[in-house]
Amino acid sequence: MSQIAAVFKPDSKALIAYLTVGYPDLEITEKAAIALARNGVDIIELGIPFSDPLADGTTIQRASYRALQHGTTPRQCLKIAEQIHREINTPLIFMTYYNPAYHFGLDAFCRQCADAGVSGLIVPDLPPEEGPELEAVAQKNKLDLIYLLAPTSSDERIRLVAEHSHGFIYLVSVTGVTGARDRLPEIWTGLSPGSESRP
């Protein structure tokens, strides 16, 4: 069982916090992650800033833009993850888009993620049909590759994601980008936007 999967116990919930690496700066990212872990967060999701975060709402888009303006790179994200991992035992997940990982080199990226203490990856623009190469490299490096489901997902899509997702399934509880909402669809009453659920 992976470190991420071990967080999800029967009849319990996990609190997963998100931070954009480099916003407002790298030092505060590290301090915030350590503070979250020491105050009971079960998993920390570290967002690698990307110039075209198409699945994210305005809040994360602005955070990514500011982090990129400060020069935050995937290599710096790996370094910060390693520093955080030295201080806490809380599982770390990178949320990234496929382009930065591909540009870095999938083998090198996954190997360095594992070396830095990262336990899993969320790649929102990578559907499972296009994921076998990254899946294989992630599994080789003992990283959970976490796929997404949406309210519009068909039964076939749910089965496909359940077969290929490791650690948990990321349940996108509303259609469109992430961000604040006045209300949730009735089907997801009781969940919050960006909710995560294990398979």
Query: Counting Cβ atoms within 10 Å, is residue 68 exposed (0-12), middle (13-18) or buried (19+)?
Result: middle
- For residue 89, the tally of other CB atoms under 10 A from its CB is 8
What residue spans of 26-131 are helical by DSSP H?
A: 26-38, 58-69, 74-87, 98-104, 106-116
Closest CA to 173 of 165, 163, 164, 181: 181
Set 11, 25, 42, 56: catalytic member = 56
14 burial via Cβ count (<10 Å: 0-12, 13-18, 19+): middle
Is-catalytic flag, 30? no
Is 196 among the catalytic positions?
no
Amino acid identity for residue 11 in this structure: D
Catalytic residue among 11, 25, 27, 45: 45
- Residue 11 corresponds to which tokens in the numbers above? 């009849």
Are 160 and 199 spatial neighbours (Cβ–Cβ below 8 Å)? no
- Supply the residues annotated as catalytic: 45, 56
